[in-house]
Amino acid sequence: MSPVTADHTKKHILVVDDDPEQLTQIKEHLKEFYEVTLVASGKHVIKYLLRYHIDLILLDYLMPEMDGPQVLSRLRANDDYRDIPVIFLTGVAEKDMVIKTLVDLKPEGYVLKPSKKSDLVAKIIDVLG
């Protein structure tokens, strides 16, 4: 099979952040390597997952209405979604809170914002292989 016809489907990453600039920046970092979908709130995660398969979620830690830990808690409580890897996106100020959440909810890790492309891709490769 030639490289052109090889089945090379990209992994699908859902990025959840209430900051449009962050969403745009992350999509720019990842679009070369992954299929990237952006949503602007935690409320949209479950609705999206009802319709589409996701390989990994990049989840903002602090958001209005439903924050990252609340979203992750719902995912972990649902048999259909509990095994989806989740990486938190967080600012330095929330680092201690995130570490507590790592222990409690066991996401696959976190990346500090604003994230460098190399850090973000390295963490995703670490989780997805």
Q: Are strands 56-60 and 12-16 parallel, antiparallel or unpaired?
A: parallel
Q: Where are the domains of the chain?
A: 12-123
**Confidence (pTM):** 0.90
Q: Which fold does the domain 12-123 belong to in CATH?
A: Rossmann fold (3.40.50)
Which residue shows structure tokens 């449009």?
A: 20
Q: pLDDT tens digits, residue range 18-69? A: 999 999 999 999 999 999 999 999 999 989 999 999 999 999 999 999 999 9
